[in-house]
Structures are given as structure tokens and as C-alpha cells.
Structure 1
Amino acid sequence: MRPISYVIPANEYRRERWKNGLGWTREIVRYPDAADWDWRLSIAEIEQDAAFSSFPGIDRELVLLRGNGLRLRFDDGEEVVLLPPHQRHRFAGERGLTGELIDGLTHDFNLMWRRDAVEAELLHRPLVGPMLFFAEPGVRWAIHLLAGQAHFDRACGLPPLWAGDTALLVSGEGRKRFVLEGGGEILAIRLQDKRSDGNG
């Protein structure tokens, strides 16, 4: 059984088919770990132009991690191009769209959350010194290290982060401070439970 807060090494991500079977994704974490999750982090491996799966009731944010670019062509006529380094776009999961590769395959960080259950905010930040994250009942953080190396202060009891790893920061009871130090780039995702029962 995992501790409340933990690090997920990149080599432990679960590779599985997209919901529509047209591609592959590496699932980082889902909460709760069930079919009817409230939020989910994954890395989509897009190897060919393909329709995205439909996720009614889910909001999404996609960040280009690797590759020369991805065009999101929505069924309603909107087009969004994600270019390196790390452009991103937020959209409703029930919108029909096709992902079109610009020049070769891409890997794309995929944040999904159930809009009636969770508020999610994704931040892209350089890591050039200590950063503080505060988890509290109903609020947790997921930290994905895009590049570089990082470590938490000893009081956190967490192992170091290497490029591609993800840390999940949860308070348990009360408020807990996490100090992250190192050099590189991170995606920091703040996840607030709209239905919090006070247990973090």
C-alpha cells in the first residue's frame, strides 16, 4: 500500500490503449484508482493522426512534451496548434477532435478531471531554487519533472525526482508544507476537491 504522499518513477507508468483504441497512453496516476476516477494524469503517445476519445463531463489540458508539434482540429471548426517547447490547451472532453501530427510523433502530458468534482490548475514553471507547495484537506499537488533533477527536503520523506517522474503531495490531516529544490522545469498541478470531506 502506498504512503499518503509518494513519487511515481517514470518507468512505473502503466501503458494502455486509448479509450477508443486508436493510440497508446502511459497512465501516471488516477484518483480514485477506479473506472469512475475524479482526475487522471497520463502521457499520450501520438504516432499517427487520430480522433481523440470522448470524455463527457471531463475537462482536459494537454501539454506538448516531446515532438515537433500537434494540431488539434475540433469538429466545431476550431484549430489549435501546440508547438515546442510545451505549448498547451484546455478543452472540454466531450468535444470531438482529431490530433494531427505536424512532423513526426509526439508525447503529450494529459491532465483530465471531472468538472463537477474537482477544480484543476496546471502551472509550468522553471525550477531554479526552493519552491514551496502547501497541501491541505481537499487540496493536493502533483509535480511532474519535465527536465533536470530535484529533491524534497528531508522532512517530507520522499525520494528524489528524476526527469519524467511525478510526485503526489497530500496533507493527510491539517496543512503540510513540501519544499522542492533542484534545477530544471516542472509541471505543477493543483487539484482541489469540490466535495472534500476534510480528509485530504
Structure 2
Amino acid sequence: MQRFRLADLAPAPWRNGGGVTREIARGALDGATDWDWRLSVARIAHDGPFSTFSGVDRVATLVDGAVRLESATQTQAWTTPGEAHGFAGETAFTARLDGGGARFFNVMVRRGRLVATVVAHRTSGVLAPAQDVQHGLLVLHGRFAVETPAGTERLEAEDGLLWAGARPALRATLDTPTGCLVEVRLSAPAQTDGAA
């Protein structure tokens, strides 16, 4: 288990000047030379083109602000922290902000290699054990106490945890009147039977 805090992660400016990204972690499967999964938080500073990633599936969860992503064929809107939408990384979106800036918690996986599941928890409860490749937790707002086999981790807003491999059941207790804890699970794609 690894603990992280967004404020401790170095910001990397976008090439187009439209925002900055703080990378949380990335990883590769089976000795691949490029990443198969990547977790980050990106701040969108103004309207403009949204980055594309060929062969990548993305899930973007709103941390704060409000934003729409518009393409030639679709529009997706985020208005509430913890709201998540998935989309293909190849889609050429333009970001449209509603007022000031906005931040996304980005989960990206190489298509055909991994599948991402993202769930927002707004109350206390038990996170079921999971046999996945990678796991992550990030508190968007509020404060949570997360009971792990190694002890209790008290997570403030923008604190998080990472696990590699199987993860035991966890109890997450909300310590503030409101809060949002985002759970990420990265798993292998379901196998299909190709027999006729």
C-alpha cells in the first residue's frame, strides 16, 4: 500500500497551455515498454482542445468546477464532484468550462489490456475485497478513516491510497458531514469463449 497527497505531486504543464497535470502513478503489464494504466489529476484552465490518447479508454471524474467535453458527434457534461464518465481516448473533444477552471481525476487504461471501474462513495461503508491488477482511493472532499490490515489511514481531501494486486475488504468511515471518496479498480478484460 502506498499513500499519496496531490499537493506533493509535481505539476506538468500541458503542451497547449490549457492546463496542468499531476501524475499519481502509472504501470505496465508483462514488461511492456509503455504504460498500460495511468492515474492523474488534471486542471483545465480555459476552453480549448482536450488531449487525445490513441488506443486508450478513459474515465474522468470531476474533482471540482464544471465542464463540458464537446466533439463532432457527442457532448458529455460534468457538474457535480464525484461524477464520472467514460470515453474513448481517440475522441477529439473541446473542453468548455462553466465559469472558472475545473479538475478531473483521470483514469486511463490501454484498451484490450485492462478495464477500469470507478465508483464514488459518499457515505460510510465497506469496500468489498477485490482481485484486481491495481486499486486506488482518492478523497475529493471531506475526511475519511479507512481501516486496512496495516491500521487506520485518515485521509483528508486530496489524499489517496494505492494497492498493487489483490486488495482486502476495507471499511471507510466518513468523518465529516459530507464527503466523496473515489474508488478505482483496474482489472483484466473478461475472457470470452471463442469456440463455435
Residues 1:187 and 2:178 are matched in the alignment: no
Aligned residues: 184
Matching of residues 21-170 of structure 1 within 5 Å: 22-32=18-28, 36-67=34-65, 69-74=66-71, 76-129=72-125, 131-136=126-131, 138-153=132-147, 155-157=149-151, 159-170=153-164
Alpha carbons of 1:124 and 1:17: their partners in 2 closer, same or farther (altered >3 Å)? same
When normalised by structure 1's length, the TM-score is 0.80
Alpha carbons of 1:16 and 1:158: their partners in 2 closer, same or farther (altered >3 Å)? farther
Alpha carbons of 1:87 and 1:12: their partners in 2 closer, same or farther (altered >3 Å)? same
Partner of 1:160: helix, strand, or coil?
strand
The alpha-carbon deviation at position 149 of structure 1 amounts to 2.1
The alpha-carbon deviation at position 21 of structure 1 amounts to 5.1
Contact 1:152 / 1:178 at 8 angstroms: preserved in 2? no
When normalised by structure 2's length, the TM-score is 0.82
The alpha-carbon deviation at position 191 of structure 1 amounts to 0.6
Tell me, in whole angstroms, the C-alpha distance in 2 between the residues paired with 1:57 and 1:154: 35
CA RMSD of aligned residues (A): 2.5
Tell me, in whole angstroms, the C-alpha distance in 1 between the residues paired with 2:152 and 2:163: 10
Partner of 1:11: helix, strand, or coil?
helix
Q: Structure 1: state its 5+ residue gaps.
A: 196-200
Query: Residue in 2 aligned with 1:198?
Result: none
The alpha-carbon deviation at position 143 of structure 1 amounts to 0.9
Tell me, in whole angstroms, the C-alpha distance in 1 between the residues paired with 2:189 and 2:68: 32
Tell me, in whole angstroms, the C-alpha distance in 2 between the residues paired with 1:176 and 1:49: 39
Contact 2:82 / 2:182 at 8 angstroms: preserved in 1? no
- Kindly report structure 1 stretches of 4+ aligned residues shifted beyond 4 Å: none
The alpha-carbon deviation at position 8 of structure 1 amounts to 1.1
